[in-house]
Amino acid sequence: MIRAEGVEAMEFPELSDRYGVSGVPQTTINDGTGTVVGAVPEQNLLAEIMRAVAK
Amino acid sequence: MPEKLLNDLIIGQIREAFTNLKEPVVILFFGSRENCDYCDDTRQLLDEVVAIDEKLTLNMYDIDTDHEVAKLYHVDKTPGIVIAAKNGDQIIDLGIQYSGIPSGHEFSTLIQDILLVSGRDSGLNPQSREYLKNLQKLLHLQVFVTPT
């Protein structure tokens, strides 16, 4: 039910551009429904996941 | 034989980290003969990593000729790497993958991912686990990173 993919931003610039990646790490949830910029604590990531899934 | 990507010092460090390996891990590599600048280096890197410990194996695929396998593991980019659990002959996909060459900082991410899958434990806190196990739809996380 969960797919977690690390993406090398420079090798896939079209994808990085699509999600407006300007700094790393940046996490895109469900094709742009949610976004987390930077390395955040687990609970913050979970909160954004919950927000994105509920949309 | 091409020159090795990992020197003896790094191999020694990885070997030490790999003393914490528990269960077998299989790495699925997906390459492409076209438009893949980093496929050869990535394949060689993974080859050298799995050679360090017998709990690790490497399966190699071509995203075009093995497109059914690629589809099964949701791989749509090359080089594509899936780090999966291995139970006998069975491959258990945990949804952990990496697209691109895992070099620089991302090389240690690869090693950490292998250790995580080998330990069969996400390390997440109970609150996260409780929420995630009740997901009704696929959750796709893409973490954009750079090697530096």
| pLDDT tens readout for residues A15-47 | 999 999 989 999 999 999 999 999 999 999 999
- Residue of B77, B100, B132 with shortest CB distance to A2: B132
pLDDT band at A13 (very low <50, low <70, confident <90, very high): very high
- Interval B35-63 mean pLDDT: 97
Nearest-neighbour CA in chain A from B87: distance (Å): 20
Q: What are B51-54's contacts with CB under 8 Å, separation 24+? A: B52/B11, B52/B14, B52/B15, B52/B18, B53/B15, B53/B18, B53/B21
pLDDT tens-place string over residues B51-98: 999 999 999 999 999 999 999 999 999 999 999 999 999 999 999 999
Helix pair angle (B39-50, B105-119), 10° resolution: 50
Please tell me the distance from the alpha carbon of residue A51 to that of residue B2, in angstroms, as a whole number.
49
Q: How far is B139 from chain A (nearest CA, A)?
A: 5
Q: Which residues of A39-55 are buried (b: 16+ CB within 10 A; e: fewer)?
A: eeeeeebbebbeebbee
**Has residue B148 got a pLDDT over 90?**
no
pLDDT per residue over B91-119, tens digit each?
999 999 999 999 998 999 999 999 999 99
Q: State the best of A1, A2, A5 to mutate against chain B, taking most chain B CBs within 10 Å.
A: A5
Chain-chain contact of B127 with A43 (C-beta, under 8 angstroms): yes
Tally C-beta pairs within 8 A across A and B.
Answer: 115
Mean pLDDT rounded to a whole number for chain B? 96
Chain A interface includes B140 (CB < 8 A)? yes
Q: B56-62 and B25-31 as β-strands: parallel, antiparallel, unpaired?
A: parallel
Token code pair at residue B61? 């695929």
> Does the pLDDT at position B2 exceed 80?
no
Amino acid at B2: P
Residues 1-40 of chain A whose Cβ lies under 8 A from any Cβ of chain B? 1-12, 15-16, 19, 21, 24-31
Other beta carbons less than 10 A from residue B45's beta carbon: 22
Instruction: Enumerate the residues of chain B whose CB falls inside 8 A of the CB of residue A11.
Output: 37-38, 99-101
Q: What is the pLDDT of residue B122?
A: 94
Rounded percentage of chain B residues whose pLDDT exceeds 70? 99
Would the pLDDT of A10 be above 90? yes
Prediction pTM value:
0.96
- Integer CA distances (angstroms), B92 to A5, A18, A19, B105, in order: 16, 31, 30, 27
Please name the residue ranges forming H helices in B75-141: 105-119, 126-133
The pLDDT value recorded for residue B1 is: 62
